[in-house]
C-alpha cells in the first residue's frame, strides 16, 4: 500500500453524530462525488460503518486519507495502540493516515507527555502514518511538540467558524507549521441564517455554507463538513472554487463573537 502523503487534505468529510445506515450512505455518496478524505473517531461509534462503506465503494485505499481519533479512555500507554488496532480492524485497513488525540482531558489521570509518547510509539509501529491533536490550546500544543518533536504534529483540529475565529491559536499553529483543521465550521448550522453571510452568498451566486467553508479555506485551514444529504455534500465541495474578495473576508472577520459550541467539562482545555 502506498502511503498517502501529508499535508492533511484541505477538504474532507466529517462523520460526527452520524450513525448506522446514515453514515454508510453519507460516506458512499461522498466517495461517489469525489471526496477522498474521511474523518472519524473512536467515540463516534461509526468506524465499522465507515470501513464498510469504503469497502463497498471500490475506491482504492491508497486514494483515501483516513483520520481517526483516540478517545480519552484509551490514553494510557497500555491501551492506546491496542485501541488503535481495534479502530484499524473496524476501518478495514492496516494503517490510518492520521491519528489524533481527541481532547487534552487534563483531569483524566494520564499526563499529556505520557499519551503523546504513546501516540508517537503507535506511529513508530506503523499503525498510523501521521499524528496530531485536537482541541489543544497553545500551551498544550507546545508541550506536545516537546514530546514528539518539531514537524511531527500534522494538525490541531479545533472548533472554528465565522462566529469563533480562534485567531490567536490559529496564528500560533500556522507559525509552528501545524495545519489548522476547522470543525464545526458552520456552527451547527447557525451561520447559515446570518444576513452578512447571506448577502455575500447572494453576490457570488453561492450558498451560505459555501461562503463559510470558502472563508476557512482561504485562511489556509482544512475543513471537514458533514451532511446526510447528497445534494449538500455536492454543494459543499464547490466551496473550493469560490473566491471571496478582500471585502468579503473583512465582513466575515467582523462576525467574530467567541461563539463556541463545544467545550465539555473535564475534557476541554482553558481556551486561548
Does 188 qualify as catalytic in the annotation?
Answer: no
Beta-carbon contacts of residue 202 (< 8 Å; ≥ 6 apart): none
Question: What is the chain's length?
Answer: 272
Angle separating helix axes 230-237 and 20-33, nearest 10 degrees: 40
**Four-CA torsion 30, 31, 36, 41, nearest 10 degrees:** 60
Q: Which of 35, 44, 65, 183 is catalytic?
A: 44
102 is in an annotated binding site: yes
Describe the strand order of the beta sheet including 131-134 as a list of residue ranges. 13-14, 37-39, 65-70, 98-101, 131-134, 153-159, 179-183, 222-223
Task: Quote the CA–CA distance of 134 and 58 in Å, as a whole number.
Answer: 30
The terminus-to-terminus CA distance of the chain in angstroms comes to 40
Question: Residues 100, 70: contact at Cβ < 8 Å?
Answer: yes
Concatenate the DSSP letters of all residues of 130-165 into one string. -EEEES--HHHHHHHHHHH-TT-EEEEEEE-BTTB-
Helix (H, G, I), strand (E, B) or coil at 65: strand
Q: In terms of Cα–Cα distance, which of 186, 179, 197 is closest to 159?
A: 186
Residue 134, beta-bridge partner list: 157
Q: Where are the beta strands (DSSP E) in the chain?
A: 13-14, 37-39, 65-70, 98-101, 131-134, 153-159, 179-183, 222-223
Binding residues for substrate: 102
Active site residues: 44
Binding residues: 102
Amino acid at each position: 500500500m502506498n502511503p498517502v502523503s501529508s499535508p492533511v487534505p484541505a477538504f474532507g468529510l466529517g462523520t460526527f453524530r452520524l450513525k448506522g445506515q446514515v453514515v454508510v450512505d453519507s460516506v458512499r455518496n461522498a466517495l461517489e462525488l469525489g471526496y477522498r478524505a474521511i474523518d472519524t473517531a473512536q467515540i463516534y461509534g461509526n468506524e465499522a460503518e465507515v470501513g464498510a462503506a469504503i469497502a463497498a465503494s471500490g475506491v482504492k485505499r491508497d486514494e483515501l486519507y483516513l483520520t481517526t481519533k483516540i478517545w480519552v479512555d484509551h490514553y494510557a500507554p497500555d491501551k492506546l495502540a491496542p485501541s488503535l488496532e481495534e479502530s484499524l480492524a473496524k476501518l478495514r485497513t492496516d494503517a490510518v493516515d492520521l491519528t489524533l488525540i481527541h481532547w487534552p482531558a487534563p483531569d483524566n489521570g494520564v499526563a499529556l507527555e505520557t499519551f503523546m509518547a504513546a501516540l508517537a510509539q503507535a506511529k513508530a509501529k506503523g499503525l498510523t502514518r501521521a499524528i496530531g491533536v485536537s482541541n489543544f490550546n497553545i500551551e498544550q500544543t507546545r508541550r506536545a511538540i516537546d514530546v514528539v518533536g518539531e514537524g511531527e504534529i500534522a494538525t490541531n483540529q479545533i472548533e472554528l467558524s465565522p462566529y469563533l475565529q480562534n485567531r490567536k491559536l490559529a496564528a500560533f499553529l500556522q507559525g509552528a507549521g501545524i495545519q489548522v483543521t476547522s470543525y464545526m465550521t458552520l456552527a451547527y448550522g447557525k451561520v447559515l441564517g446570518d444576513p452578512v453571510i447571506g448577502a455575500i452568498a447572494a453576490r457570488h451566486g453561492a450558498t451560505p455554507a459555501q461562503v463559510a467553508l470558502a472563508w476557512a479555506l482561504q485562511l489556509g485551514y482544512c475543513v471537514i463538513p458533514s451532511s446526510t444529504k447528497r445534494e449538500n455534500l455536492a454543494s459543499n465541495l464547490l466551496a473550493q472554487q469560490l473566491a471571496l474578495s478582500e471585502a468579503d473576508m473583512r465582513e466575515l472577520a467582523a462576525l467574530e463573537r467567541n461563539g463556541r459550541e463545544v467545550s465539555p467539562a473535564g475534557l476541554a482545555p482553558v481556551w486561548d
